[in-house]
Chains A and B, each alone.
Chain A
Amino acid sequence: MSADTPTPKDPPGPRGQGNPGRGGRRSRLSRLVRKGRLIILGAVLTIVPLLTGVLAPWVAPDSPARLDPMRRLSAPSAEHVFGTDELGRDLLTQVIYGGRLSLLVGSLVVAIATVLGTAFGLSAGYLRNLDALLMRTMDGLLALPDLLLAIALMAALGPNVANVILALGMVYTPRIARLVRGSVLVVREMEYVQSARALGAAAPRTMFRHVLPSSLSPLIVQATFVFAFSILGEAALSFLGVGVPPYIPSWGNILAGGRQFMVEAPWVTMFPGLAIVVTVLGINLLGDGLRDILDPRLRRLV
């Protein structure tokens, strides 16, 4: 697949090259408007669970640690909107605090992967003698499924929140590195970069001032997907019992706890699952929309 093949926006009838038809332009506009709406929808779906997570101590109806053994596994009611879990804790509160953890994990994983991945990608793409070593290492890490590598790292590091973040950060670094390196390879041959070098700009300066900015938009798009992946990743690791310790509310932990009571109390698995789906769906919508706007070459994929 060559990503740069221009594709006409409307299936019937090819348009002239320098003369976009009226219909074409209008449909592109309407596409953008529709995309704009999808981005807003995505942003809302993403922000609501995450914002309630940030504000958890104020918006959660209960304390996340308060147990009420008399009311364990009670169905959703006016008092407990999402019902209670197997220890009688208010499930809505648990889910809100789980969102808080997802936000923490997601943003720190994105930070680690972006910083390390950008550093590796820039170095590999710009300093060619490092390229082979760095990229073969990244290829090696990419040869393992994300989740398996994360589980293996957790096995070595031990289950706690910091290690979940570290492990997922290491898992997603190669993706960013490969992406940044790809853009650098294209950009470094451009005339403005060549002229900066010819003027005597040092390598680090050229990289940060001239090469990095033009690799930024695919990077932003990829970062949103890494955010989504790390929310799914944390949930999976915790669900398997190798992620966040069970006493910390996390969407994966709630699911793991509710699993045994799935038949009597399906709400315990339903609500955290829906929270994951809604949040990740929102981030994916956001990422797709951003990609459309920032990276027109990939437009036809969406």
Chain B
Amino acid sequence: MLAYILRRLIQLVLVLVVVGVVAFLLIHLAPGDPAAVMLGSNATQDQVDRLREQLALDRPLPVQFAAWSSRVIRGDLGISHFAQKPVLQVLAQRAEPTLVLAAMSILVAVIIGVPIGIVAAIRRGTVVDQAALALALLGASVPSFWLGLSLILYFAVRLGWFPSSGIVPLASGGLESLRYYVLPALALGFPNSALITRITRSSMLDVLQQDYVRTAASKGLSSLRVIVRHALRNALVPIITVVGLTIASLMGGAVVTETVFSIPGVGRLVVQSVLRRDYPVIQAAILLVAAIYVVVNLVVDLIYAWVDPRIRYLEEKMQVKPA
């Protein structure tokens, strides 16, 4: 297990290095002098020259990358030239809405996806199953921003059940502020439930075929008990994996959803920063999201390997296999 964790950690670092290169190169891809680009249009020539010096822009790219990454590792992600504040501070101010939105969306996606997937598997081939698959297909085809707009139009404007946009911070609104997140979480959660439905269904179908489920059923256990205790428990591993992946993809969806609902989170900050050409913020957001992604993935895989030793074995075998 230790060797497995170690190998995964090395992979994690490698992935982050690649993401670092992408983030680093963004500024160089942009037209114009990177120092001027980073400082924005209001900077004086003097400031630009100083930053050029600091970024070692006259040195070869690898040297620049080394300088940049050593600052990033020390937690210095640069200054947002729009906010005139350190990037990390800007991101931290925007973190709460995004985290609440992500948490509620994942809840929505799981609440929709898992039960529907289970029922579809149990009633395989029936109308119920087909309806579930149709719903999943619809979820995969609806753009979350259009769903968001439609939800606002119906539930906020017509019916007035929920606020149409904005948020109230948890600290001042408490539970009441969660009402602001209901529609955004539905808009972001429903499209993400599609994959969860499909994986739950196919994983359950796999397990329901197993002998021990038949045995449990023939022992006379109630079908609810068989499904929950014997089938679902063993079907959980792929479901956990896909939920983990969904957490990561939510970070992308949040960009759109936060814009639709005017939620002042990290996603909206990214869009605003693109429009303001505030590159340090974009770089930091990319690194942050990638870090969340790899850590979530690692945790999921570790749970996975811990629950099911066969995985570790398979991975090792694949590593050893000669080329």
Q: Which residue of A7, A14, A262, A277 contacts B153 across the interface (Cβ within 8 Å)?
A: A262
B110 proximity list for chain A (CB < 8 A): none
B305 proximity list for chain A (CB < 8 A): none
Instruction: Check B265 for interface membership: any CB of A closer than 8 A.
Output: no
CA distance in complex: A276, B146 (Å): 9
Size of interface on B: residues with Cβ below 8 Å to A: 65
B202 proximity list for chain A (CB < 8 A): 1, 300-301
B259 to A, closest residue via Cβ: A240
A242 to B, closest residue via Cβ: B274
Which residues of chain B from 302 to 323 have a CB within 8 Å of any chain A CB? 323
Which residues of chain B from 247 to 266 have a CB within 8 Å of any chain A CB? 248-253, 255-256, 259-260
Q: Which residue of A145, A155, A232, A281 contacts B249 across the interface (Cβ within 8 Å)?
A: A145
A148-B251, A148-B289, A155-B274 known; A255+B146 contact, CB < 8 A: yes
Q: Are B270 and A151 in contact (CB under 8 A)?
A: yes
Q: How far is the CB of B235 from chain A (nearest CB, A)?
A: 10
Q: Are B289 and A144 in contact (CB under 8 A)?
A: yes
Chain B interface, DSSP helix/strand/loop, else mixed: helix
CA distance in complex: A155, B28 (Å): 11
Instruction: Check B223 for interface membership: any CB of A closer than 8 A.
Output: no
Which residues of chain A from 1 to 20 have a CB within 8 Å of any chain B CB? 1, 5, 7-8, 10-11, 14
Instruction: Check A236 for interface membership: any CB of B closer than 8 A.
Output: yes
CA distance in complex: A262, B125 (Å): 40
Interface size range on A against B: 35 or more
Q: Are A151 and B274 in contact (CB under 8 A)?
A: yes
B294 proximity list for chain A (CB < 8 A): 143
A128 to B, closest residue via Cβ: B323
Instruction: Check B238 for interface membership: any CB of A closer than 8 A.
Output: yes
Q: Are A281 and B137 in contact (CB under 8 A)?
A: yes
Interface segment, one of A71-79, A87-95, A134-142? A134-142
Q: How far is the CB of B288 from chain A (nearest CB, A)?
A: 10
Q: Are B141 and A144 in contact (CB under 8 A)?
A: no
Which residues of chain B from 104 to 126 have a CB within 8 Å of any chain A CB? 124-125
Q: Are A241 and B275 in contact (CB under 8 A)?
A: yes
Q: How far is the CB of B237 from chain A (nearest CB, A)?
A: 8
Instruction: Check A250 for interface membership: any CB of B closer than 8 A.
Output: no
Q: How far is the CB of B311 from chain A (nearest CB, A)?
A: 11
Instruction: Check B103 for interface membership: any CB of A closer than 8 A.
Output: no
Mark A residues whose CB is within 8 Å of B: 1, 5, 7-8, 10-11, 14, 128, 136-137, 139-141, 143-149, 151-158, 228, 232, 235-236, 239-242, 255, 259, 262-263, 266, 269-270, 273, 276-277, 280-281, 284-285, 288, 300-302
A-B pairs with lowest CB-CB distance, top 7: A140-B18, A145-B252, A273-B146, A156-B29, A147-B252, A281-B141, A280-B141
Question: What are 10 A-B contacts with C-beta separation under 8 Å?
Answer: A140-B16, A145-B253, A151-B271, A151-B274, A156-B30, A157-B29, A158-B31, A240-B256, A276-B143, A281-B138
Given A140-B290, A147-B256, 9 more pairs with CB closer than 8 A: A128-B323, A139-B11, A146-B252, A156-B27, A236-B145, A269-B153, A273-B143, A273-B146, A284-B141
